[in-house]
Amino acid sequence: MAIRVYRPTSPGRRNASVIDYKKELTAFRPEKSLCVRIKKSGGRNNTGETTVRFRGGGGRRIYRIIDFKRNKDNMPAKVLTIEYDPNRNCFISLVQYEDGEKRYILAPQGIQVGQTVESGPSVEPKVGNAMPLEFIPVGVEIHNIELEAGQGGKLVRTAGGVARVMAKEGDWVTIILPSGEMRMVRKECRATIGQLSNSDYQNVKVGKAGRNRHKGIRPHVRGKAMNPVAHPLGGGEGRANGGRHPCSPTGVLAKGGKTRNPRKVSSRRIIRRRKSNRGVQLVL
């Protein structure tokens, strides 16, 4: 994937770069039957209170309904297009099944228009095909992985994301995630073969604040720069550091705390944490 760098005609252009979509995408208008409107709330809940700070504004988006389950088995689907999706950083592909039904799927790297993709336990493990983990050979790269069978893909859905099947034992399959975390997943859970597209997304430089505003990201203000009435770290003479550990506006500690629920089944199946200093642990 090519990254395009503009001529420095302004200070914002000087440090900006974009993905050259014309070399990768084949269609620029979505399938209307698979689109729904998104109602934006600007980081506020139904009572108008801000629950996610520094969110709001941005360009209007149309949501594309993505088939994360890939549960239409033993029916080939032809890839019609490779498209941009404003709601995610990887590309999507429009596929049409033999019965005429159209669906959007996450586009893996290397997929081509006219190619045939399938899903089911008896398909070949080639790029774009979806199948249960128990039928995927060890060492194969995968994405869009389910945590519970039939739930739909939850893991590895970002641009350039790729996981790998490491081992199989009984009813469980061990996979290693892009973060370095190693976990066990039930063999009935499905995954899609290949690495996700648009891997150069991480190399794009925004260049100016206006591009983030178009995404709906507002300026992020430090707590120590606020008034005491707005944040626990605010106020003080000069550039005070607050005199306490970093925290949120409501006083919740912001660094070092564990956020994962240990009582959930998904947390109990982790073999190696994504943070290397925690060591190897297995809880069955």
Give the CATH number for residue 130: 2.40.50.140
Say if 226 falls within a structural domain.
Answer: no
Residue 23 phi, psi (nearest 5): -85, -15
| pTM for this prediction | 0.89
H helices within 98-246, ranges in order? Answer: 209-214
* pLDDT one-digit tens code per residue, 115-145: 999 999 999 999 999 999 999 999 999 999 9
Q: How many angstroms separate the CA atoms of 67 and 107, rounded? A: 11
The domain containing residue 62 runs over which residues? 3-201+259-278
Residue 34 phi, psi (nearest 5): -110, 20
What's the number of domains the chain is made of? Answer: 1
| Surface-to-core class of residue 261, CB atoms within 10 Å of its CB (0-12 exposed, 13-18 middle, 19+ buried) | exposed
pLDDT band at 277 (very low <50, low <70, confident <90, very high): low
The tokens describing 153, both together, are: 């893909």
Say if 254 falls within a structural domain.
Answer: no
Say if 113 falls within a structural domain.
Answer: yes
pLDDT for res 280: 45
Residue 45 phi, psi (nearest 5): -90, -170
* DSSP 8-state class, residue 155: E
H helices within the chain, ranges in order? Answer: 11-14, 209-214, 265-268
* Mean pLDDT value across the chain: 92
Say if 149 falls within a structural domain.
Answer: yes
Say if 271 falls within a structural domain.
Answer: yes
Say if 243 falls within a structural domain.
Answer: no
pLDDT band at 282 (very low <50, low <70, confident <90, very high): very low
* DSSP 8-state class, residue 34: G
